[in-house]
Amino acid sequence: MKPNISTTIGTVELRSCIYNASGPLCATKEELNNIGKSKAGAIISKSSTEQYREGNPKPRYFENELGSINSMGLPNMGLDFYLNTSEELIQYEKPFFLSIAGLSLEENKKMLSKVVDNEFVSGVELNLSCPNVLGKPQTAYDFERTKFVLDDVCKIKDRCFGVKLPPYFDLIHFEQMAEILNQYPLDFITCINSIGNGIIVDIEKEEVVIHPKGGFGGIGGDYIKPTALANVRKFRQLLKNEISVIGCGGIKNGSDVFEHILCGASAVQVGTQLMREGVSCFERIENELIELMKLKDYLDINTYKGKLGVVNSM
């Protein structure tokens, strides 16, 4: 029997638990259609602002064998474009998630109010963690502000809704953030966004590899998998069951997906590897996960989700 890798986020059903991260190759109509045609279990858009944004000056993305650095600065086509494109995407018979990243709370509220009239968007991911817009701190590192934002946006949300979080590193921060998140009717959290404000150096040129923000940018790929797994694990332990955890960070093959699910992820998103390999990565990763599950005699991702073993030495 073929292992079942379907999943449910809130009330939204996904044939496969593997889809794209809101980041690379999901900003234009062509890119969104390509994800639609692929084996991705869902489509999520690039984080949208109300208006079109050009983003930061190039070069703003770089990758090496260990991962990536980006300071894209939210280049996107603007909310109306994604709402208008949503109808075209239903032909792929998979959920379409809209990511939004307003530059102010007012902008986020305005965008969410516009989504209310749209029947083709399955869910909304509110990005509270972009590290790349000058003068705009990552909201989810400010706990009071996060609460303030959630108080307001949760009054408007009318469908599957969740937030994309930055990585946390200290156990007390996981506890404080989980206590806040548990107070709201969220369907999911996505963790993690890139690790903000890293630097990759070009040794030959003795220079930073990207130009915006003096070379500082969000780090993704292999570099961040252990941090992503720890965030998935800790939030799964601390959040109420109604809030699914979507893992993101360092997923490039079936074993990486397996590890995220073992830590508690209900679904996973692929970023750096999608940029590297294109949309064919979804079929390859799906097949690798299925082969691994067959080897381990798992028929469903729910049989091992969150069941990571620990060995207590104290």
Rule CB under 6 A: choose which of 38, 108, 139, 193 binds ligand SIN: 193
Rule CB under 6 A: say whether 208 interacts with ligand SIN: no
Contacts of 37 (CB under 8 A, 6+ apart): 92, 279
Q: How far is the CB of 72 from ligand SIN (least distance, A)?
A: 3
DSSP three-state, residue 52: coil
Cα separation, 247 vs 67, in Å, equals 17
Contacts of 305 (CB under 8 A, 6+ apart): 261, 262, 264, 265, 266
Q: How far is the CB of 83 from ligand SIN (least distance, A)?
A: 19
Cα separation, 234 vs 231, in Å, equals 5
Rule CB under 6 A: choose which of 49, 86, 132, 273 binds ligand SIN: 132
Among 137, 165, 133, 172, CA closest to 150 = 165
Kindly give the pairing relationship between strand 188-191 and strand 207-208. Answer: unpaired
Residues in binding contact with ligand SIN, number by CB under 6 A: 14
User: What token pair was written down for 35?
Assistant: 């994800």
Stretch that binds ligand SIN, among 126-134, 171-179, 245-253, 298-306 (CB under 6 A): 126-134
Cα separation, 55 vs 50, in Å, equals 13
Q: Considering 22, 47, 129, 244, which one is annotated as catalytic? A: 129
Q: How far is the CB of 70 from ligand SIN (least distance, A)?
A: 6
**For residue 20, what are the β-bridge partners?**
270
Rule CB under 6 A: say whether 130 interacts with ligand SIN: yes
- What are the C-alpha distances in Å from 250 to residues 25, 211, 247, 253? 17, 24, 9, 9
Q: How far is the CB of 313 from ligand SIN (least distance, A)?
A: 37
130 catalytic? Reply is yes
Rule CB under 6 A: say whether 67 interacts with ligand SIN: no
Rule CB under 6 A: say whether 14 interacts with ligand SIN: no
- What are the C-alpha distances in Å from 197 to residues 79, 173, 224? 27, 19, 13
Residue 307: HSE in the Cβ half-sphere, 13 Å Cα cutoff: 7
Is the Cβ of residue 99 or residue 266 nearer to ligand SIN in the bound state?
99
Rule CB under 6 A: say whether 49 interacts with ligand SIN: no
Rule CB under 6 A: say whether 218 interacts with ligand SIN: yes
Q: Considering 16, 48, 68, 130, which one is annotated as catalytic? A: 130
Rule CB under 6 A: say whether 194 interacts with ligand SIN: yes
Contacts of 93 (CB under 8 A, 6+ apart): none
Amino acid at 152: D
**DSSP 8-state secondary structure symbol assigned to residue 53:** B
Rule CB under 6 A: say whether 47 interacts with ligand SIN: yes
Rule CB under 6 A: say whether 112 interacts with ligand SIN: no
Q: How far is the CB of 217 from ligand SIN (least distance, A)?
A: 8
Rule CB under 6 A: say whether 124 interacts with ligand SIN: no
248 catalytic? Reply is no
Rule CB under 6 A: say whether 127 interacts with ligand SIN: yes
Residues that bind ligand SIN (CB under 6 A): 23, 47, 70, 72-74, 127, 129-132, 193-194, 218
Known catalytic residues? 129-130
